[in-house]
């Protein structure tokens, strides 16, 4: 259990409240598993683009509806990077856009959660993409 490296997580959402909520949730989830999460947050798709190339994330959470560079474009960008080819991506967005949901999954998102997201749903999704053995 000792000195495993912290799980690197990126949270992308243009709402500060949502970002902080997700960050707290992810940290709590990691804690439950006896691990540590190191969470970066980005207030826009553009900010995420600046972070991604220099990092190696274990998990990415993103909204779809953001100005300029949106979630679908971001997922595509993530997948273009060798170090992020298999990084789990959870989309947390609106339930209305069925077509957007399908596209997100087609582009390589691991799961699509609907806002406002509940802790239980988030835990389930994280467990789905983060099997303990894979992270170790």
Residues of the shown chain interacting with other proteins in the complex, contacts defined by CB under 8 A: 13-18, 20-21, 24, 45-47, 49-50, 53, 63-70, 72-77, 80-81, 94-97, 99-100, 103, 106-107, 115-118
Cα–Cα distance for residue pair 127/75, rounded to 1 Å:
20
Q: Which of 48, 27, 50 is nearest to 38 (CA)?
A: 27
User: Which is closer to other proteins, CB of 77 or CB of 135?
Assistant: 77
Cα–Cα distance for residue pair 66/63, rounded to 1 Å:
7
CB of 10 to other proteins, least distance (A): 15
User: Which is closer to other proteins, CB of 38 or CB of 73?
Assistant: 73
User: Which is closer to other proteins, CB of 46 or CB of 135?
Assistant: 46
Q: Which of 32, 23, 67 is nearest to 46 (CA)?
A: 67
């Amino acid at each position: 259990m000792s000195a495993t490296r912290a799980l690197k997580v990126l949270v992308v959402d243009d709402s500060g409240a949502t970002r902080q909520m997700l960050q707290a949730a992810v940290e709590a989830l990691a804690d439950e598993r006896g691990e540590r999460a190191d969470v970066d947050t980005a207030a826009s798709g553009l900010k995420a683009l600046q972070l991604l190339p220099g990092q190696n994330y274990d998990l990415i959470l993103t909204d779809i509806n953001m100005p300029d560079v949106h979630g679908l474009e971001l997922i595509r960008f993530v997948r273009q990077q060798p170090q992020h080819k298999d990084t789990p991506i959870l989309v947390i967005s609106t339930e209305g856009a069925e077509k957007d949901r399908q596209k997100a999954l087609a582009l390589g998102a691991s799961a699509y959660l609907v806002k406002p997201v509940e802790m239980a749903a988030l835990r389930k999704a994280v467990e789905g993409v983060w099997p303990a053995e894979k992270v170790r």
